[in-house]
Chains A and B, each alone.
Chain A
Amino acid sequence: MKKVYTRPKYLKKVHFHYCPGCGHSIIHRLITEVVEELNIHDRVIGIPPPGCSVFAYYYLDVDMAESAHGRGAAVATGLKRAYPEAIVFTYQGDGDLAAIGTGETIHAANRGERITAIFINNAVYGMTGGQMAPTTLLNQKTTTTPYGRDTKLEGYPIKISEMLALTKGAVYIERTAVNSPANIRKTKKAIRKAFQTQIDDLGYSLVEILSPCPTNWRMTPLEAWQWIDKEMTREFPLGVIKDVTGAKDAD
């Protein structure tokens, strides 16, 4: 009998601490599948952030080093510059990448650092208990927007991926989601392409993944999956935002 589904080789045999319905565990799995398929296990290094996924190193059986909040792109830059043979990826949430780490992220992308960002957008600060994120939707209730996000007070959900696409150093940016088997497959494809972009030494790559946080959204896992389709993708449409990996020159 042909085995068609098994535990990825580089996912450690431990239980996830993530809440039921959380997207992190799916994305962790996809990364380890891609690492195995691309055969980069012996040179991949991950930079997880503070937040729920700070413990990514308990699950991904690859070298990892924790970063300060928001500094992933800078840490990855230093690591990659010191050891260019490495395949370096950051794993960052919306607060990490698009609020406190905006500067690091934009400039790493603009320099065309050969790093890959796995950007988890769940429209909320998860580990700290559900505060407003830079990507929180308009009217979305969080613990720090208890009356709903108001444009007059809190501005608009930031489209950091579209902003990053304006930098010439960024060569591949795609937004996906992990709220259906089809979207999960597309996410894996995007992660694979992002890593391949780095392997091919083309420039900065990023995959923004719309990911459910049922706990802080105060929803069931199913409702959370549906909310991504109904609400999040209206603000953050899925698809390739930038791909100049086929161009001879990223310019």
Chain B
Amino acid sequence: MPKVLMTGNAAIGEAAIRAGCQCYFGYPITPQNELTEYMATHLSRRKGCSFIQAESEISAINMVYGASLAGVRTMTSSSSPGISLKQEGISYLAACELPAVIVNMSRGGPGLGSISAAQSDYFQATRGGGHGDYRTIVLGPSSVQELADLTHRAFDLADKYQIPVIILGDGMLGQMMEPVEFKHEAPKELPVRSNALRGAKGRPSRYIKTFTSKPTELEEINWSLFRRYQLIKKEETTFETLMAEDAELLVVAYGIAARIAKGAINRARSNGMKVGMLRPISLWPFPTHKLEELAKKTKHYLVFEMNMGQMLEDVQLALGGKGDVSFYGRPGGVIPTPSEVYRVISRLYYRKA
């Protein structure tokens, strides 16, 4: 298929439809409205599909929960304050082992914050976010193409592991336009999970629940989830490296920040500095082992995020004190420039010895 020019938000919508998403439920919030509008235009009238502009983000995520019970591919999207409201539902999805895709085109926080792109929701996304002992798979795309690709992958992962999957983008990725190629055609038959709750037809009745009055029963559920998380860590950790082989200073950045850092790194290289990058694509599971491996050769690290240092903690944990870790971040929705990051890189690079 030829490339088309699209906003990131619209590309997620198109990719979701092509992944067989049958039900989308959303609520307006900037900077992700183009996605909700795309689904209103392109999903709502498709055969067998459903679109609802819900009365709240809480309702939207609970509609997702309902649609997931029925065994269909379902998605909601929002931005930071709205994602906070969805945490209750995400916790229930995780507890009931129901697949769903949740898109966060994040913006500056805390509070109502700003509508400009930020990465302040890393902790919330990668630590579970809601109440209880659970994780969600978190994917951090850095281009419109990757938004489309990872949206498709998010649906596959959600079904494979019966788990909610978060796409952690930001307002800049959502609203910028880039050429994108969709690698899948929309399925002729919408997929339905074999464990769908669709009435006791030809089988005994079933129930799906989270509540138990027996702590040991819940403990076993927690262990079962934990074992699945261990498997996901083993199988689904993804990352990209850029000129990391001989790097003396390694930048660790994800999402749009990695895109900004790339410009700075290329400039540093052209000026003779051995700088590379590790870009985690799966933010949970985090590429801990890759960092452990890199730490054997590279001593100096710069974590660059559009927040006050959240992924920084994962990098520090992975390195376990083996590397020298610096941090540069701009919170609040401020978009740093490649030149700004270049200045930080060169200062650190020449100081490192």
Contact = CB atoms under 8 A, between A and B. Distances in A.
Contact of A86 (B74, B88, B198, B209): B198
| Interface SS majority for chain B | mixed
Contacts of B211: 50, 54, 66
Q: Which residue among A64, A75, A78 has the maximum number of chain B CB atoms within 10 Å of its CB?
A: A78
Contact of B54 (A50, A62, A74): A74
A207 interface: no
Interface string B197-213: 11111100111111100
Question: What's the interface size class on A, roughly?
Answer: 35 or more
Given A78-B65, A78-B66, A71 B59 contact: yes
A47 B67 CA distance: 13
A235 interface: no
B56 interface: yes
A57 B63 contact: no
Contact of B25 (A47, A68, A78, A83): A78
Given A78-B66, A79-B69, A103-B59, A42 B23 contact: no
B108 interface: no
Nearest to A69: B88
B96 A65 contact: yes
B55 interface: yes
Contacts of B96: 65-66
B62 A83 contact: no
A71 B92 CA distance: 11
A82 B73 CA distance: 9
Interface string A7-37: 0001000000000000000000000000000
Contacts of B197: 45, 63, 65, 79
Interface string A76-118: 1111111101110000000000000001101100010000000
Given A63-B197, A65-B207, A71 B52 contact: no
A57 B207 contact: yes
A137 B193 CA distance: 46
Interface of A: 10, 41-45, 47, 50, 54, 57, 60-68, 71, 74-83, 85-87, 103-104, 106-107, 111
Given A78-B25, A106-B55, 7 more contacts: A45-B199, A65-B96, A74-B63, A77-B52, A82-B74, A83-B198, A86-B198
Interface of B: 22-23, 25, 50, 52, 54-56, 58-60, 62-72, 74, 88-89, 92, 96, 196-202, 205-211
6 contacts: A65-B208, A74-B59, A81-B52, A82-B70, A86-B70, A103-B56
